[in-house]
Structure 1
Amino acid sequence: MRVFRRNYKVLALESSCDDACVALLEKESPHKPPLVIDQFKKTLLSAENGGIVPTAAHDFHHATMAPLVDEFCQKHSLNFATPPDLICCTRGPGMTGSLSSSIQLAKGLSMAWQVPVVGVHHMLGHILVSQLPKTSQPLLEPPQYPFLSLLCSGGHTMLVLLKSIVDHEIIIDVNDIAAGDSLDKCARELGLYGNMLGKELEKYVDSIPLDTRKEYHEINTKVKTNPYNLKLGLPFKGPRDPKYPDPIHFSFASFKSSIQSYRKQHHGDQPFDESTNQFLAYKIQETIFDHIIDRINTAFTMHGSNTAIYPEADSKFVGVRDLICSGGVAANSRLRHKLSQELKFNECLETEDKLTFHFPDLLLCTDNAVMIGVAGIELFEKLRIKTDLSMLAIRRWPLNEIMKVDGWTEINEAEFKSITRYR
């Protein structure tokens, strides 16, 4: 007997910062990840302004989102007669003016097409996009709870323990600026130019001959007694800093200051020569990533089970077997390599089981609408919730408080089945 299945389609919108994004996903089974049908993306060009200006981003999104979505819907024949079954949009965190453009558009389409809308937490999208098949890891199964996620972007840097889709504990947060913001600022100090300066810094470092990078790697910058007279150490490693702090923090603001101080002391107003510029670029990127590794290893020690290393280890990470690295900085190949090689998971958790790393495809590391669709589907299916039409943008929305905002509405069984129609 032939079995007919009815897939349901999801339109997703993202506009939290400087990217205007729309995507279409299709879901055919509660046991399989959604299929990505298509996505569009346009990015605000901000290099001339030295970074993202909120008012410029606001104007960009309000001028871009509607025609972008209109073009996308025409391409895929999405209209009143053949609408998607669900709409997902980013509700926060992010810049309020930017967020509001896709939220208002999503609410308008929801009313016109009479389909529910789900307002999604941006960072949850970065985490859950790891459920999709990965080009570099095609046989890898999705992560299983409990798992860890390193969210590393221009706006956020945190290590999170996830026990369910909404049960999150922030293990390490940043106490000043995010890693991506620091990389961007340092790249600008070194004279690099582009819309994504962190990516430009990575390309610049990768262009340095391998032998030269090996030489740079061996140079100790913990003290100034090196050929470049550069002192560049890790944050929180001073004599007065506790070895096992509570809470644990990331800190990245000092790296830009280090370049500025070094320039003032050794070069005045003159630009760096190429050798010095390359050395600084290599060491800045490497030390920022070393700091991330150091803080995560501190968390492994404190929340592992090996009391021989740390007598007060609380075993909080026992059962964790997966680590997701997501966000724009997660696209950096050097960071991916260092994570896979330098974390002390086995030692601190007293296990021979390997920690499985999940690295989303590069295009899905930076902001995109696909991740918003994936997270929205998970909220809709696992929790049977949607968002009512009174929702507003949320500028600051802690990841461990997803369900504490207003606007969540439960979906009854009849409405759920009318949308999914799973067999």
Structure 2
Amino acid sequence: MSDLQMPLSPQFPRAASARSERAKAPEPPVRILALETSCDETAAAVIDDGRFIRSNVVASQIDLHAAYGGVFPEMASRAHVEAIGAVIARAMKEAEAGWESVNAVAVTRGPGLPGSLVVGVNAAKGICLARGLPLIGVNHLEGHIYSHWLETALPAGQPAWSFPLITLIVSGGHTELVLMRGHGDYELLGHTVDDAAGEAFDKVARLLGLPYPGGPAIERLSQTGNPNAFRFARPKISPRRRTEGAHSGLPRPYRDQALYDFSFSGAKTNALNLTRELGAQAAARAADVAASFQSAVVEWLVEKTLLAARDFDARAVLVGGGVSANRLLRQRMALAAEAARLPVSFPPLALCVDNAAMIGAAAYQAFLRGERDGLALDVSPELKLGA
């Protein structure tokens, strides 16, 4: 018999080792438990990889505050204390998540009502201390921006947004126009100099005898009104000095102008004067007043947002916050963006209101950057974004 070793037949290749055949186990997701208690919603969510919502639980206090026509801060904080434990437990149960699978706890640290913020931050600290988990404090406004990164908000097949982006955050407490150059890189372009848009909706709703919250009530009434019945004067906003280096993308003569600021107190005063002038006819013309007011506010929001998108060569426009649920705003913004050949995004209605899923999405980016907050984390009721 020959000492030569016969070559293996090509029809019978060497068997691969068990190690090489074994499929590589998928990496577990970065799982974040997020809490949100900045105003009158007690919320908890479990988010995987900043995109996938495993649970999103919100306990609303609308009925509690309706009798007051707005949020009563002391009652809000007490309601958070009563609800927070059950909301967290439900979020973990719905996500079918064990504590060993959680990588971090995120919580809104501001802006918001001080007493409400404290409840969420203290709950998050307690969990982190007991479970040995890192804590990430999140800006509530940043959360509204990152609602657009959640799987349910992204267009089909699109993994993320391209920068730069113009983001309009419009709610009961905020109306801010922000340039987003990248993750964690923001510049505040404009804000309301008086009432927030949602606040103006609430105040005009009270003038018209409508229930709280005022935004949805005005929207419903407007459906039977004439948006051209009354003219609401365009606000005049005084120029303000910017911080050093602000608006570096614009020619110097424009940097100190209030190009992107908003004002809604004048529209509120117009509505008040109209109801007085109408006298006995005010109730009969309430739908016309509501429709005209809503149309004016939406026009100003769309106009300044698209102006900023043009000036800063934005790749897309993102709109978030409670008022972003308004149908007229969605329709007009979509038409204006289409004319400008710009993509525009609104979150699903469930993500327009305050929720913890958006806080988890924002916290994921901070987690990737290695940002952690210790147990000394404090609330910041006046926290700014990109100022």
The TM-score with structure 2 as length reference comes to: 0.83
User: Following the alignment from structure 1 to structure 2, what is the Cα–Cα distance between the partners of residues 345 and 96?
Assistant: 42
Match of 1:386, SS?
coil
User: Following the alignment from structure 1 to structure 2, what is the Cα–Cα distance between the partners of residues 193 and 271?
Assistant: 20
RMSD: 2.4
The alpha carbon displacement at 1:236 in A equals 2.0
1:246 aligns with 2:283: no
> Among 286, 293, 296, which residue is 2:305 paired with?
296
Match of 2:372, SS?
strand
Q: Which residue does 2:57 correspond to in 1? A: 40
Q: Which residue does 2:169 correspond to in 1? A: 151
Q: Which residue does 1:17 correspond to in 2? A: 39
Is the 8 Å Cα contact of residues 36 and 120 (structure 2) preserved in structure 1? yes
Q: Which residue does 2:347 correspond to in 1? A: 360
User: Following the alignment from structure 2 to structure 1, what is the Cα–Cα distance between the partners of residues 202 and 90?
Assistant: 33
Greater mean alpha carbon deviation, residues 333-342 or residues 118-127: 333-342
Matched letter for residue 21 of structure 1: A
Is the 8 Å Cα contact of residues 83 and 113 (structure 1) preserved in structure 2? no
User: Following the alignment from structure 1 to structure 2, what is the Cα–Cα distance between the partners of residues 294 and 135?
Assistant: 24
Cα deviation 1:58-79 (Å, max 9, x = unaligned): 1111221123223433555656
Cα deviation 1:1-43 (Å, max 9, x = unaligned): 312122232111000000000011123xxxxx52111111111
Matched letter for residue 258 of structure 2: P
User: Following the alignment from structure 1 to structure 2, what is the Cα–Cα distance between the partners of residues 72 and 342?
Assistant: 38
The alpha carbon displacement at 1:399 in A equals 0.1
User: Following the alignment from structure 2 to structure 1, what is the Cα–Cα distance between the partners of residues 130 and 172?
Assistant: 35
Q: Which residue does 2:70 correspond to in 1? A: 51
1:8 aligns with 2:8: no
The alpha carbon displacement at 1:384 in A equals 1.2
1:61 aligns with 2:77: no
1:286 aligns with 2:295: yes
1:257 aligns with 2:269: yes
Is the 8 Å Cα contact of residues 234 and 290 (structure 1) preserved in structure 2? no
What runs of 5+ residues in structure 1 fail to find an aligned partner?
28-32, 223-231, 305-316, 347-353, 402-423
User: Following the alignment from structure 1 to structure 2, what is the Cα–Cα distance between the partners of residues 285 and 128?
Assistant: 26
Is the 8 Å Cα contact of residues 46 and 92 (structure 2) preserved in structure 1? no
User: Following the alignment from structure 1 to structure 2, what is the Cα–Cα distance between the partners of residues 140 and 204?
Assistant: 37
The alpha carbon displacement at 1:280 in A equals 0.5
Q: Which residue does 1:417 correspond to in 2? A: none
User: Following the alignment from structure 1 to structure 2, what is the Cα–Cα distance between the partners of residues 114 and 277?
Assistant: 56
Match of 2:57, SS?
strand
The alpha carbon displacement at 1:113 in A equals 0.6
Residues 321-340 of structure 1 correspond to what in structure 2 (within 5 A)?
Answer: 321-340=315-334
1:70 aligns with 2:81: no
Is the 8 Å Cα contact of residues 165 and 317 (structure 2) preserved in structure 1? yes
Cα deviation 1:329-388 (Å, max 9, x = unaligned): 111121011112235974xxxxxxx2111111110011000000000011111x211111
Q: Which residue does 2:118 correspond to in 1? A: 100
Q: Which residue does 2:372 correspond to in 1? A: 386
User: Following the alignment from structure 2 to structure 1, what is the Cα–Cα distance between the partners of residues 306 and 103?
Assistant: 44
Match of 2:75, SS?
helix
Q: Which residue does 1:26 correspond to in 2? A: 48
Q: 1:137 to 1:199 in 2, by over 3 A?
A: farther
Q: 1:265 to 1:272 in 2, by over 3 A?
A: closer
Is the 8 Å Cα contact of residues 154 and 160 (structure 2) preserved in structure 1? no
Residues 47-196 of structure 1 correspond to what in structure 2 (within 5 A)?
Answer: 47-74=66-93, 76=95, 82=100, 84-134=102-152, 137-194=155-212, 196=213
Matched letter for residue 336 of structure 1: R
Match of 2:67, SS?
helix
User: Following the alignment from structure 2 to structure 1, what is the Cα–Cα distance between the partners of residues 55 and 361?
Assistant: 13
User: Following the alignment from structure 1 to structure 2, what is the Cα–Cα distance between the partners of residues 56 and 133?
Assistant: 34
User: Following the alignment from structure 1 to structure 2, what is the Cα–Cα distance between the partners of residues 36 and 146?
Assistant: 25
Match of 2:216, SS?
helix
User: Following the alignment from structure 2 to structure 1, what is the Cα–Cα distance between the partners of residues 157 and 203?
Assistant: 37
Q: 1:361 to 1:131 in 2, by over 3 A?
A: same
- How many residues align? The count is 347
Match of 2:191, SS?
strand
Match of 1:175, SS?
coil
User: Following the alignment from structure 1 to structure 2, what is the Cα–Cα distance between the partners of residues 141 and 2?
Assistant: 25
Question: Which protein shows a greater Rg?
Answer: 2
Matched letter for residue 381 of structure 2: R
Is the 8 Å Cα contact of residues 166 and 177 (structure 2) preserved in structure 1? yes
The alpha carbon displacement at 1:122 in A equals 0.4
Is the 8 Å Cα contact of residues 21 and 368 (structure 1) preserved in structure 2? yes
Cα deviation 1:209-229 (Å, max 9, x = unaligned): xxxx5xx2454x44xxxxxxx
Cα deviation 1:263-315 (Å, max 9, x = unaligned): 22330xx57233x1110010010011112123335545xx63xxxxxxxxxxx
Is the 8 Å Cα contact of residues 127 and 149 (structure 1) preserved in structure 2? yes
Is the 8 Å Cα contact of residues 153 and 346 (structure 2) preserved in structure 1? no
Is the 8 Å Cα contact of residues 92 and 99 (structure 1) preserved in structure 2? yes
Match of 1:163, SS?
strand
Is the 8 Å Cα contact of residues 156 and 174 (structure 1) preserved in structure 2? yes
User: Following the alignment from structure 1 to structure 2, what is the Cα–Cα distance between the partners of residues 368 and 40?
Assistant: 8
Match of 1:399, SS?
coil
Is the 8 Å Cα contact of residues 151 and 325 (structure 1) preserved in structure 2? yes
